[in-house]
Every structure is written in structure tokens, then in C-alpha cells.
């Protein structure tokens, strides 16, 4: 599974993290691990939450059973714990921020979820063997690293032929509203943002302060943040024998939002792709940070 010899630290497989940028990012997330759990969260509520989210529910159905899945940059590892609960899949939650991973590990232990392996490591140390996962998921992570494209090159190596990869990144156009709010946050502070940020406005009154702070820090105070376009990621896929399957927002013809199709939903053209990124600004995705998702499948071996 690993190219290097790890240590085991209280149930978590652990590698030294040495990169300067990764260390500054882990220091940032150690204060408020992201996305964090609500105080009353348990396996039942996690399953309910996962099942009510269209993407995570379809992902779980798509994966089925007997698969190996890795969530790279899993933070507090909700997705990994959700996918593992009630399945026999081998799930790996991978993150360099130990306190975030520890929250996920503790949740799994307390809720009797036994098929998640927690790995404390940095993408750039390239610790994973090649072609071992049926699914590689990396959302909300690469744009917080020193070199997103190099990070992508490393993580796609661990994908099996015919395996699926999902990359979630901030969009250069779609994040426009957040860029504006980041300026306002610097001038006017938290109170205004509590009112202006659609995600924060949507939260339940019982949401913990830690969860709220973790969002505010992640969106408005992050020390390392970049943004990307559809065309950049299409090029990443094309250069690594990964067939583009789908995206959110869709740039092709997946009207039923099936996401993990067997065949590509089509990639539109430069103009339609620019248009759908501009359109993000005015919709829910643009309101909540401008994250876009690209899904691909690695070519089969001859």
C-alpha cells in the first residue's frame, strides 16, 4: 500500500510532513479542523446527511461493494466515514493535519466504523503505491497546496486503470462573490460576513461555534489559496490518459445529474465552458465558495 515505511500513532498511520507550505497549511487547520463535526453527530445523523446530499448518495451507490477508495485531504473525514458505514469497502482517509484526522478517527471508533484506515501524510511525499485505488477523491484540497498540478500528477498515479477520479477546486470565475466578501471581511469583520455568506445564513441555529469558525477561517483567512478553470483540469486529464466523464456544474449533457457515468457527458466548447463558469457566480455554487468538480476515468490497460 505504501512506498515508505510508516509509523503507527494511536491507530493512525503516520508519515513525517516536511514541506514548508504543507506545514503552514496544517498549522492553520490545527486551530479549526475542517469541516468539523456538530456536537451531537453520530453514525445515524452522518448517514442521513450523506444520503440527503445528491453527490455523496450517488457516489455511495456508484461505489457499491468490495472497492478501495481514498479521500485525499479528508480533513475531519466525514465523507470517508459516511462511505464506510454499512459497506465492506476499504476506505482510506488521508490528510497531513493530524488533529483533523484524529476527529475522524475518534468518530469512527465511537460509532463502530471499522473499515477506514486513517493516513497522516502530505500528497507531495508521494507515499502511496501506484494503481491501488478504484476511486481517488480530492476535493477542496489542491488549491491549498504549493503546486496543484504537481499534486494532481502524484495522486492520479495511485488510481487503477478504469478507476474514477474526482477533483474539486475553487473556480476562477465562480468564486467571484467570495473574492468580494474576502475584501469586505478584511474591512468590516465577522458580523457582516455572518449576514452576507449564504452558507452561514443557511446554518441551523444549533450549529456549533467551532463549525462556523472553521468555515469562516477556511473561506476568508486562508494563507494558501488559488483558483482554477475547467480548461486547466481538462488539460491535466488529457495529459494523463484520464477520460473526462462529467463535471459540476455540467459542461456537457448530463441532464439527470448522474455524475459517475460510463461514458463522457461531453465537454462543450471553450465558449460554453466560459459561460457555465460565469453562470456559477449567480447560482448556489457561486454563493457557497465557487467550488467546481471534475470527474474522470483512467484509461484501461491494453
Stretch 161-200 residues interacting with ligand SAM (CB under 6 A): none
Work out how close the CB of 29 gets to ligand SAM at its nearest, in angstroms, rounded to a whole number: 5
- Out of 12, 69, 75, 295, the only residue in the binding site for ligand SAM (CB under 6 A) is 75
288: region left, alpha or beta (phi > 0 left; psi from -120 to 50 alpha): alpha
Among 37, 60, 67, 73, binds ligand SAM (CB under 6 A): 73
Backbone angles phi, psi at 296, to 5 degrees: -135, 170
Q: Is residue 141 at the binding interface for ligand SAM, with CB under 6 A as the rule? A: yes
Neighbours of 89 (CB within 10 A): 19
Strands of the 242-248 sheet, one edge to the other: 7-9, 12-14, 116-120, 90-94, 68-72, 133-139, 159-170, 291-298, 242-248
Distance, CA of 162 to CA of 275 (rounded, Å) = 31
Nearer to ligand SAM (CB atom), residue 68 or residue 214? 214
Within positions 89 to 118, which residues make up the interface with ligand SAM, using CB under 6 A? Answer: 95-97, 100
Interface with ligand SAM includes 25 (CB under 6 A)?
Answer: yes
Q: Scan for cell 500528477, then name that residue.
A: 153
- Applying CB under 6 A, among 81, 89, 117, 145 the residue interacting with ligand SAM is 145
Of residues 259 through 298, those in contact with ligand SAM by CB under 6 A are: none
| CB crowding 199-222: b at 16 or more within 10 Å, else e | ebeeeeeeeeeebbebbbebbbee
For ligand SAM, the closer of residues 67 and 144 by Cβ is: 144
Residue nearer to ligand SAM on the CB measure, 144 or 175: 144
Task: Give least dist CB 253 to ligand SAM, A.
Answer: 27
Binding to ligand SAM (CB under 6 A): which residues in 207-246? 218
Count, residues near ligand SAM per rule CB under 6 A: 23
Residue 22 touches ligand SAM, criterion: CB under 6 A: yes
Residue 144 interacts with ligand SAM (CB under 6 A)? Answer: yes
Q: Is 124 in the site for ligand SAM (CB under 6 A)?
A: yes
Which of the ranges 59-67, 109-117, 133-141, 255-263 carries the binding residues for ligand SAM, by CB under 6 A? 133-141
| H helices present in 66-220, as ranges | 78-84, 98-110, 148-156, 176-188, 190-196, 198-202, 209-220
* Cα separation, 120 vs 13, whole angstroms: 6
Q: According to the binding rule CB under 6 A, does residue 139 interact with ligand SAM? A: yes
Please identify, among the stretches 44-52, 110-118, 121-129, 199-207, the one whose residues bind ligand SAM according to the rule CB under 6 A. Answer: 121-129
Q: Decide if residue 140 touches ligand SAM (CB under 6 A).
A: yes
Cα 157–Cα 162–Cα 4 angle in degrees, nearest 5: 25
Does position 50 interact with ligand SAM (CB under 6 A)? The reply is no
- Ranges of beta strands (E only) in the chain are 7-9, 12-14, 68-72, 90-94, 116-120, 133-139, 159-170, 242-248, 291-298
Q: How far is the CB of 236 from ligand SAM (least distance, A)?
A: 17
Q: How many CB atoms lie within 10 A of CB 34?
A: 21
Which residue is associated with the grid cell 479542523? 33
At closest approach, how far in Å is the CB of 248 from ligand SAM? 13
Contact residues: ligand SAM, CB under 6 A: 22, 25-26, 29, 34-35, 72-75, 95-97, 100, 122-124, 139-141, 144-145, 218
Amino acid at each position: 500500500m505504501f512506498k515508505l515505511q510508516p509509523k503507527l500513532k494511536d491507530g493512525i498511520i503516520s508519515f513525517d510532513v516536511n514541506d514548508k507550505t504543507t506545514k503552514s497549511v496544517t498549522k492553520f487547520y490545527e486551530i479549526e479542523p475542517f469541516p468539523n463535526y456538530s456536537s451531537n453527530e453520530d453514525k445515524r445523523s452522518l448517514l442521513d446527511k450523506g444520503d440527503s446530499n445528491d453527490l455523496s448518495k450517488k457516489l455511495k451507490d456508484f461505489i457499491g461493494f468490495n472497492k478501495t477508495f481514498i479521500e485525499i485531504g479528508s480533513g475531519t473525514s466525514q465523507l470517508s466515514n459516511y462511505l464506510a458505514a454499512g459497506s465492506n469497502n476499504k476506505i482510506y482517509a488521508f490528510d497531513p493535519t493530524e488533529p483533523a484526522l484524529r476527529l475522524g478517527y475518534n468518530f469512527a471508533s465511537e460509532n463502530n466504523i471499522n473499515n477506514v484506515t486513517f493516513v497522516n501524510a502530505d500528497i507531495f511525499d508521494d507515499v502511496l503505491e501506484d494503481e491501488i485505488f478504484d476511486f481517488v477523491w480530492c476535493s477542496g484540497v489542491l488549491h491549498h497546496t504549493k503546486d496543484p498540478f504537481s499534486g494532481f500528477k502524484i495522486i492520479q498515479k495511485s488510481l487503477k486503470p478504469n478507476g474514477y477520479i474526482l477533483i474539486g477546486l475553487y473556480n476562477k470565475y465562480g468564486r467571484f462573490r467570495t473574492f468580494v466578501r474576502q475584501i469586505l471581511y478584511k474591512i468590516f469583520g465577522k458580523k457582516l460576513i455572518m449576514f452576507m455568506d449564504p452558507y452561514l445564513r443557511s446554518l441551523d441555529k444549533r450549529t456549533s461555534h467551532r463549525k462556523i469558525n472553521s468555515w469562516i477561517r477556511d473561506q476568508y483567512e486562508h494563507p494558501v489559496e488559488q483558483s482554477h478553470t475547467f480548461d486547466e483540469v481538462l488539460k491535466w486529464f488529457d495529459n494523463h490518459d484520464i477520460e473526462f466523464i462529467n463535471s459540476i456544474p455540467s459542461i456537457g449533457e448530463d441532464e439527470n445529474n448522474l455524475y459517475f457515468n460510463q461514458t463522457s457527458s461531453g465537454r462543450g466548447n471553450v465558449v460554453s465552458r466560459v459561460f457555465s463558469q460565469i453562470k456559477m457566480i449567480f447560482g448556489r455554487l457561486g454563493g457557497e465558495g465557487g467550488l467546481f468538480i471534475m470527474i474522470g476515468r483512467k484509461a484501461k490497460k491494453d
